[in-house]
Amino acid sequence: MKKIYIGFVMCLLMLGLVYCKEDANMKDTFAVIHSRKSVRSFTGAAVSKNDLDKIIKAGMAAPTAVNMQPWSFIVITDRKKLDTLAEGLPNAKMLFKAGAAIIICTEPDKAFNKSKDFAIIDASLAGENILLSIETLGLGGVWTAAYPYADRMKHVRSVLNIPQEVIPLNVIPVGVPTGEDKPKVKYNKEKIHWEQW
């Protein structure tokens, strides 16, 4: 009986240690917000499906107008597809070294009032959640614009078979950062208006 009890206590302790270790690797929200930066230099290492799942789940936790969630997310880990995307995107050459990419798509037809504006705003909020989650996991990412550039959206649509009514908002290369990219200090008191403009 005593042995069973000791075994049970040991199991609880080990579980506690696993959770503590996970917590120790997690940054607090403000630390994440202030350490997030656009990462354009990647080591070339892979990104796990588990991490990508967490990142997308966080994206879907973002607020949307009337909770319409007009978004979809395309996750790419296939090397050939990442390279093909990079070839047609002058602004996203870092894809060649990224381990994965997330393409945030949005559909005006599925947004509140069928509004393109709401579709873009809603999906952009998911984008920030995604960028912050990438930082939280110790990975790097950068928003590269597809929308509003017709040529870039055309390329992304054709490589990924995206229907015409769906807007590919961006391509977010995700990877293991080399450490070269640093956060910028943007705090500017002059941009704040207390009580009135």
In the complex, which residues of this chain contact ligand FMN (CB under 6 A)? 37-38, 40, 91, 142-145, 184
With respect to ligand FMN, which residue has the nearer C-beta, 37 or 81? Answer: 37
The residue with tokens 């047609």 is: 88
For residue 149, report the phi and psi dihedrals to the nearest 5 degrees: -90, 115
Closer Cβ to ligand FMN, 46 or 121, answer by number: 121
Of residues 134 and 142, the one with the C-beta less far from ligand FMN: 142
> 66 CB contacts (<8 Å, ≥6 apart)?
112
Going by the DSSP 8-state scheme, the letter that residue 66 receives in this structure is: G
* Spatial distance between the Cα atoms of 118 and 112, rounded to a whole number of angstroms: 7
Kindly state the smallest distance separating residue 40's Cβ from ligand FMN, in Å: 6
The residue among 195, 137, 180, 159 whose CA lies nearest residue 74 is 159
**CB of 40 or CB of 110, closer to ligand FMN:** 40
Q: Is 5 exposed, middle or buried (0-12, 13-18, 19+ CB in 10 A)?
A: exposed
Smallest separation, CB 166 to ligand FMN (Å): 18
Q: Which is nearer to ligand FMN, 184 or 191 (CB)?
A: 184
Shortest distance, position 110 Cβ to ligand FMN, whole Å: 21
Taken in order 163, 164, 166, 169, the sign of the CA dihedral is positive
Nearest approach in angstroms of CB 181 to ligand FMN is 7
Q: How far is the CB of 127 from ligand FMN (least distance, A)?
A: 8
